[in-house]
Amino acid sequence: MLFKTRTFDEAANVLTITDLTVRLAGNPAAKPILDGISLQIREGETVCLVGESGSGKSVTSLAVMGLLPKGALEVAGGRIDLEGRNLLEFSPQAMRDMRASKISMIFQEPMTALNPVMRVGAQIEEVLDTHAKLPAREKKARVLDIMNQVHLPDVERIYRSYPHQLSGGQRQRIMIAMALILEPKLLIADEPTTALDVTTQQQILSLIAELQEKHGTAVLFITHDMGVVAEIADTVHVMQLGKLVEHAPVEELLRRPREDYTRRLLKSVPSLTPRAARPVPEGAPVISVDGLQKIYGSHGVFRKTKETLAASEVSFAIPKGRTLGIVGESGSGKSTVARCVMRLIDPTDGSIRVAEKEIAKLSRRELRPFRRHIQIVFQDPFRSLNPRWTVGRSLIEGPLNLGTDKDAAMARARELMKLVGLPDDAVDRYPHQFSGGQRQRIAIARAIAMEPDVLVADEAVSALDVSVQAQVLELLDELQAKLGIAILFITHDLRVAAQICDEVVVMQHGRVVEHDAAEKVLADPKHPYTRALIEAAPGRAWDFANFRELRTA
Amino acid sequence: MLGYILRRILAVIPVMIIVAVFVFLLLRLTPGDPAAIIAGDMATPAQLERIRTSLGLSEPLHIQFVTWVGLLLQGDLGTSLISNTPVTTMIGQRIWPTINIAVMTILLSVAIAVPMGVLAAWRHRTWADYAVMSFSVLGFSIPVFVIGYIFIQVFSIELRWLPVQGYAAPSDDFGRFLARAILPCLTLATIYVALIARMTRASMLEVLGEDYIRTARAKGVAERIVLFRHALRNAAVPIMTIIGTGFALLIGGVVVTESVFNIPGIGRLTVDAILARDYPVIQAMILLTSGLYVFINLLIDLSYTLFDPRIRY
């Protein structure tokens, strides 16, 4: 693993944060959100701020931008110096003048960070309109130039496009173009690649590095992904609950973490080394899918729309107690397959056998008694539980539909809470009283309340912090050992797939490109796309949990 | 886009046919002799006979329908049973006051309500927001005629700035028209300002929480531009819907305001026709208002594409 080893002792300080404290507005008694943060970023340096959700990473960046939500958070003390001037003393107008000209920011969600009703060219131009008065022709030339610099293809066309006409990677390039057009001193990047596919992530990371090199920009990079940290950081600051716990040059931090919290964080990064294959159990598979196909848009009421092949010729089978992963980037068709298997959408062709029964063509009505055999856990634990229902009510809804007695179902719900590691009185509480990881446990309990043969997990750990992710994966493993369920695990994250899957199916453009035992797919990929995926995984040469290079056996 | 407009216009046809059938049957399916219903209790047999022939009531039902639709397609809506003038002429005389008042009311309401709503959302949970919301509640709760009489009392009787009642066509004398239209428009606008301001506030509040608003602020864009260029256009679709529906309601006639200010609009025409059982006029009014509703809805839908490029038909 090659870390960045440049020293910045000679370089000038761009940003110095001293003892920054941020509190809930109007509530001086509450625990501060940021508690005495101090850090500095020098010219050309990339500082990574890492930590789990709620650690205060984003609040730090918004405080620097002067964009803390008004009336909710306020700076209670400290200094933020940019090139020797304290930003906290700036008037609102002076602060507006700094933004995009001296400090720029790019955000996590390229899908929502651009105004959907303005052409992207106009959105970049707005930066120039705000901070520099230029004649129209020169303005457009500058915009096209920065669009070329961020390597957008066909810039004249994209200049006139609306955000929804561009891919996620292209939109993030537009954001970067917007942020860097005035060559600011400091670029704050708040999880800029988290919502992107690995291959796109790799391109965006190298683009940021390239432009940073070219313009000498200092970068404050916020991320929760240790792989990304290993790839791009010069210096790393670790945050926990509003405090900085440790900072060090990247290699130092990954090799010799001093603090317990840092060690724990690194230890929970899932390894890319696949789990040892478990013996194949006897007996027929509990779910088998054969030649599954889903085509969208073949029927319009007034006109024929263009057909989209979302999934084609997908076949696999999972025996009792085993886990099969479907891996692929967005648009690969992996979620389409999960939804077809669940019959949440109807496949256009192919067969799905669950519990020895062909369900692909059953009507909604005929399907009802078979729903219990196959259950799903969704990605977002914050939106997949009804916020106005108690956890217990969500848990017993399925069993009640199947005719279980209410008291018996409730008693079982309490047992399930204990099974997934929550107190049994959790059934009387509401979803908002739980953390993300706890809610995902509830979602899993809800699924297994039906005693299914197959559990579909659609990106079920993707929204969780790594330490929580590790716990949920462990829970799934335990439940599988206890109950013998087969798991269909949909993920874009190769590290997660390596941790939990016996077999892996790799999908691209709706087709299966590779299907084999997890260890074979991950250690010896045959298809170029699989290889590209693995190569794009950031920090793949580093064994985070053991603080050393990855040793190939 | 053009194909969409054509399809939408074609889709109007079945709607209008259903309305036409309903309007036609309105009179014919009422129990008893329609002629007797129209003429009232004091009618002579000769009067009844005259009504029967003028409405073609002695023919079989389907023949009557075909004749009626045939005349309708030629623009012949029949003749008023009371004044004996063609219904089209009557509507032609009365519709302009209504349209003029409606257009002015809507322009006035939008000009006041949208900035109010934007302000309330921008200054969410401050006195400005509470002031706008309180005004909204008041605007909803005070009956229109009360507002009308208060305005007349204050501006016409006490201050003597404006005439009490009446109407003048803008084409004849725009000053006279304006002087007489201001109070009814303000009266009507109260409820529309309340409605549109509320909708603008709600829609803006949602949009102001979006990521791209944060992006705009991170660019150093002034708040005014953040609000009006970035947020308002994204918030426009629900606001447009309310404005459009409001306009359709105004065109449908506003009886109370027309009565208070003595404006010869179609609201009063309709009420007079109902009281006098002037069926041809009632039928024409139903057809006209439903046609207008359908047309205005089409315009609303098309306006969405102006605000949001993601909406393509």
Query: Tens digit of pLDDT per residue, chain B (313 long)?
Result: 777 778 878 888 888 888 888 888 877 777 767 777 777 777 778 877 877 777 777 778 888 888 888 888 888 888 887 788 888 899 888 888 999 999 999 999 999 999 999 999 999 989 999 999 999 999 889 988 899 899 999 999 898 888 888 888 888 888 888 888 899 999 999 999 999 999 999 999 999 999 999 999 999 999 999 999 999 999 999 999 999 989 988 887 688 888 888 888 888 898 888 888 888 888 888 888 888 888 888 888 888 888 888 887 6
- How far apart (Å, rounded) are the C-alpha atoms in residues A246 and A241? 13
- Indicate the length of chain B as a whole number: 313
Q: Is the ipTM of this complex over 0.85?
A: no
Complete edge-to-edge strand list for the sheet that includes strand A13-24: A34-42, A13-24, A73-82, A85-86
Q: Does A467 touch chain B (CB under 8 A)?
A: no
In DSSP terms, A454 is beta-bridged to A374, A486
| Interface-testing mutation among A117, A127, A165, A171, with chain B (most B C-beta atoms within 10 A) | A117
Residue A553: predicted pLDDT: 45
- How far apart (Å, rounded) are the C-alpha atoms in residues A300 and A305? 6
CA-based nearest residue in chain B for residue A93: B222
Model confidence at A3: pLDDT above 60: yes
Selection from A259, A192, A218 nearest residue A58 by Cα: A192
| Alpha carbon separation from A66 to A69, A112, A316, B251 (Å, rounded) | 9, 21, 52, 49
Q: Does A160 touch chain B (CB under 8 A)?
A: no
| Interface-testing mutation among A115, A131, A178, with chain B (most B C-beta atoms within 10 A) | A115
Distance of CA A549 to the CA centre of its chain: 25
Residue entry with tokens 């479907």: A326
Chain B positions touching A117 (Cβ under 8 A) are: 233-234, 307-310
By a Cβ cutoff of 8 Å, what residues of chain B touch chain A? 7, 125, 210-212, 214-222, 225, 229-230, 233-234, 307-310
Using the beta-carbon criterion (under 8 Å), do B218 and A100 form an inter-chain contact? yes
Q: Which two tokens stand for residue A549?
A: 């290079």
- Give yes or no for a contact between A232 and A221, defined as CB atoms under 8 angstroms apart: yes
Give the start-end residues of each E strand in A164-258.
Answer: 186-190, 218-223, 235-240, 243-249
Q: Which two tokens stand for residue B148?
A: 């009308």
Phi first, then psi: what are they for A235, rounded to 5°?
Answer: -125, 145
Using the beta-carbon criterion (under 8 Å), do B219 and A130 form an inter-chain contact? yes
Model confidence at A298: pLDDT above 60: no
- Give yes or no for a contact between B260 and B148, defined as CB atoms under 8 angstroms apart: yes
Residue A147: predicted pLDDT: 95
| Alpha carbon separation from A333 to A75, A200, B298 (Å, rounded) | 46, 17, 37
Model confidence at A304: pLDDT above 60: no
Chain B positions touching A162 (Cβ under 8 A) are: 309-310
Helix, strand, or coil (residue A456): strand
| Alpha carbon separation from A511 to A257, A329, A496, A517 (Å, rounded) | 43, 12, 21, 18
pTM assigned to the model: 0.84
Residues sharing a CB contact under 8 Å with residue A40, sequence separation 6 or more, in sequence order: A13, A15, A16, A17
> How far B272 CA lies from chain A's nearest CA (Å)?
44
Complete edge-to-edge strand list for the sheet that includes strand A186-190: A103-106, A186-190, A218-223, A46-50, A235-240, A243-249
- How far apart (Å, rounded) are the C-alpha atoms in residues B70 and B74? 7
The closest CB to that of B219, out of A99, A116, A164, belongs to A99
Helix, strand, or coil (residue A553): coil
- Expressed in percent and rounded to 5, the helix, strand and coil fractions of chain B are 75, 0, 25
- How far apart (Å, rounded) are the C-alpha atoms in residues A129 and A49? 32
What stretch of H or E contains B89?
Answer: helix B87-122
- pLDDT tens-digit series, residues B244-263: 989 988 887 688 888 888 88
Q: Name the A residues in 10-69 with CB < 8 Å from any B CB.
A: 65, 67
- How far apart (Å, rounded) are the C-alpha atoms in residues A321 and A479? 10
CA-based nearest residue in chain B for residue A114: B212
- pLDDT tens-digit series, residues A384-424: 899 999 999 999 999 998 888 999 999 999 999 998 989 98
Using only the alpha carbons of chain A, give its radius of gyration: 25
Q: Which two tokens stand for residue A457?
A: 């997990």
Using the beta-carbon criterion (under 8 Å), do B222 and A96 form an inter-chain contact? yes
The closest CB to that of B215, out of A114, A117, A130, belongs to A114
Q: Does A120 touch chain B (CB under 8 A)?
A: no
CA-based nearest residue in chain B for residue A129: B221
- How far apart (Å, rounded) are the C-alpha atoms in residues A461 and A443? 11
- CB hemisphere CA count around B118 (13 angstroms): 20
The closest CB to that of B211, out of A65, A112, A302, belongs to A112
- Give yes or no for a contact between B62 and B87, defined as CB atoms under 8 angstroms apart: no
In DSSP terms, A290 is beta-bridged to A351
What stretch of H or E contains A374?
Answer: strand A374-377
